[in-house]
Copies of this chain bind each other. A is one copy, B any other.
Amino acid sequence: MRTRATILRAAASVFGDIGYEAATISDILREAGVTKGALYFHFSSKLELAQAVLDAQVSAVSNPADEPLMLQQAVDQGMLLASSLPVDPLVRGSVRLTVEWSGREDGPDRRVPYLRWARLTRDFLAAARERGELLPHVDIDQTAELMVGCFAGIQGMSQAFTSHKDLPERIAFLYHTVMPAIAVPAVLVRLDIAPDRGSRVRAMAEATESAERAEAAQTAQAAETA
């Protein structure tokens, strides 16, 4: 059970570093420190491994916390991802798999992971529209796909240049540039699009989470005492 996670993490890391095709099962084995038999027990092929990495991505990136502004949540989502990418191999791997899959006709559908991202973004935009945060002319579907595409490209560039280290700055700059064309001015001035927004949001989320856990434990204890 734990081996499976180890393998998945190793696979994601290798895929993230050198891509699906260049990655070797042996590379992953070496990275994970397990044997071929162990791997084969959990994943019966390289392709299955890649799909598992892609599927794990969803759970790997946490959702942004509730915010008064929906657009802030949309931004937070991107910034969270941007700040996770350099440090979390699972995220890095799944993103790279999304962006560069061989495109062979017999392979898996490349659109699926893109669509998953686009859907998420679209939903935020839709909510923002309902609250009047968007400029009237904005096409939320097109815009969602645009953001996903831009993110993917900038991430690739950032990887080539700095191994993702400057990704948060680049994504922040993306939002700075794009948001004026989307958000109503009143919202625009209140958006927090600092490069460290992602890590701040995550820190807050973790604090909340541990607080909740502590509270739950207390409640449980209280119930036990009673």
Q: Which residues of A contact B (CB under 8 A)?
A: 17-22, 99-100, 102-104, 110-111, 114, 142-143, 145-146, 148-161, 170, 173-174, 176-178, 180-182
Chain B residues with CB below 8 A from A161, complex form: 111, 114
Docked pose: A102 CA to B22 CA in angstroms: 6
Taken together, the copies of this chain in the complex come to 4
Cβ-defined partner of A156 (8 Å) among B104, B149, B178: B149
Q: Given contacts A103-B17, A177-B178, A177-B181, is CB(A149)–CB(B150) below 8 Å?
A: yes
| Majority SS at the chain A contact face | helix
Cβ-defined partner of A114 (8 Å) among B146, B157, B173, B178: B157
Docked pose: A104 CA to B19 CA in angstroms: 9
Chain B residues with CB below 8 A from A156, complex form: 99-100, 149, 152-153, 156
Docked pose: A44 CA to B111 CA in angstroms: 35
Docked pose: A214 CA to B159 CA in angstroms: 48
CB distance from A154 to the nearest CB of B (A): 4
CB distance from A224 to the nearest CB of B (A): 41
A100 touches B19 (CB 8 A): yes
* 7 additional A-B residue pairs with CB within 8 Å, beyond A146-B173, A156-B156: A99-B100, A146-B174, A148-B157, A149-B156, A149-B157, A152-B153, A153-B156
Chain B residues with CB below 8 A from A155, complex form: 153
Docked pose: A150 CA to B157 CA in angstroms: 9
Docked pose: A157 CA to B145 CA in angstroms: 9
In order of increasing CB-CB distance, the 5 nearest A-B pairs are A153-B153, A21-B21, A149-B154, A152-B153, A100-B100
Docked pose: A182 CA to B145 CA in angstroms: 21
B157 touches A170 (CB 8 A): no
Chain B residues with CB below 8 A from A21, complex form: 19-22, 102
Chain B residues with CB below 8 A from A110, complex form: 160
Cβ-defined partner of A18 (8 Å) among B18, B22, B102, B149: B102
A160 touches B114 (CB 8 A): yes
Chain B residues with CB below 8 A from A103, complex form: 17-19, 22, 159-160
